[in-house]
Structure 1
Amino acid sequence: MKSFFEPDAYQELQERLEKINPDSQPEWGKMNAAQMVNHCQAPVKIALGKSDINMKSNWLIKALFKKMLYSPKPYRKNSPTPPQFRSNGDYDFNEEKASLQKWMQELWEDRNNENRDPHPVFGNFTKDQWGIMQWKHLNHHFEQFGV
């Protein structure tokens, strides 16, 4: 499984993000390109300990979904998004893309951090799990937009 923290995988994600533009259309789902790049910022900010999303841990959600976040099995198309992570506003694509690039760069620079804050819902992850989760989520949404 690829990891955000691997140089080739990180470079690939950056190149794929560059191919998305304001007019890119999703192959599935309801988000437009600006909403998608806004949405993709949240998990990166959580990994950096800079998220302002309010979430409560739920043992059932944790038991059912934690391993899925870093398993090799891809996310299902049209999987439901928790309300805290929904991006359905009117966003400026270029601003959101620049923000995602900034957060991705910050996480890349922090890639050797072995002591991340626990995820607000799922608790502790290893460095490897954090890297896989970030790659898997970004890959899912970049595939959603055909890149």
Structure 2
Amino acid sequence: MKNIHDPVVREQLIERIEQLDGDKKAQWGKMTVFQMLRHNNYWNGWILGTEDHTYKQAFLGKIFGKTALKRTIKDEKPFDRNIPTPQQFKVKELYGDLEAEKAKWISLIHHYGNYSNPNFVHGFFGKMTKEQIGILVYKHTDHHLRQFGV
């Protein structure tokens, strides 16, 4: 199973991120490439704990979260297209500095080489192991890179 904590996997993802440019169009969904980059920077900052975030599991997550997590990370199957984006991760700005956003995302990807955020609690899945986080982060990253054809 591919995992963001694997240095080879990280480098493969970084190579794909570097292929993004302003001409890339989403193959599904409504995000621009800039919104997708910014979304991933905020989302990875949330996972890594690099910014000020509040971690709390939603009530429905307490009931269904562990089962949903197991189904989500049980195999290599990519995320489905058009999964709704939680409000806190939606980016309103349509355009901005793509190179700065790419550089930030690549920097965040490198942070997974020394991952440690014992306070992290996923809003739906709840408390997760490092291995579970690694698989989820890989799948989320792969999902958005496939969204833009890289």
TM-score by length of 2: 0.83
Aligned length: 144
User: Within 2, Cα distance between the matches of 1:145 and 1:119?
Assistant: 28
Please state whether the residue corresponding to 1:99 is helix, strand or coil: helix
Corresponding residue of 2:105: 100
2:122 counterpart of 1:117: no
**Large movers: runs of 4+ above 2 Å:** 50-57, 64-74
Distance 1:35 1:53, change over 3 A: farther
Corresponding residue of 2:18: 18
User: Within 1, Cα distance between the matches of 2:74 and 2:42?
Assistant: 20
User: Within 2, Cα distance between the matches of 1:86 and 1:68?
Assistant: 24
When structure 1 is superposed on structure 2, of 57-66 and 76-85 the one drifting more is 57-66
Q: After the TM superposition, which residues 10-49 of structure 1 pair with which residues of structure 2 at under 5 Å, given as runs?
A: 10-49=10-49
Please state whether the residue corresponding to 2:127 is helix, strand or coil: coil
Cα deviations by residue, 1:108-134 (Å, 9 ceiling, x for unpaired): 2x14x4x63232523321111111011
Contact (CA 8 Å) 1:4, 1:132: kept in 2 or not?
Answer: yes
Corresponding residue of 1:132: 135
Distance 1:53 1:30, change over 3 A: farther
Contact (CA 8 Å) 2:78, 2:142: kept in 1 or not?
Answer: no
Contact (CA 8 Å) 2:10, 2:110: kept in 1 or not?
Answer: no
Cα deviations by residue, 1:85-117 (Å, 9 ceiling, x for unpaired): 112313321121111111111222x14x4x632
Contact (CA 8 Å) 2:78, 2:139: kept in 1 or not?
Answer: yes
User: Within 2, Cα distance between the matches of 1:43 and 1:34?
Assistant: 14
Gaps of 5+ in 2: none
Contact (CA 8 Å) 1:31, 1:88: kept in 2 or not?
Answer: no
Contact (CA 8 Å) 1:25, 1:145: kept in 2 or not?
Answer: yes
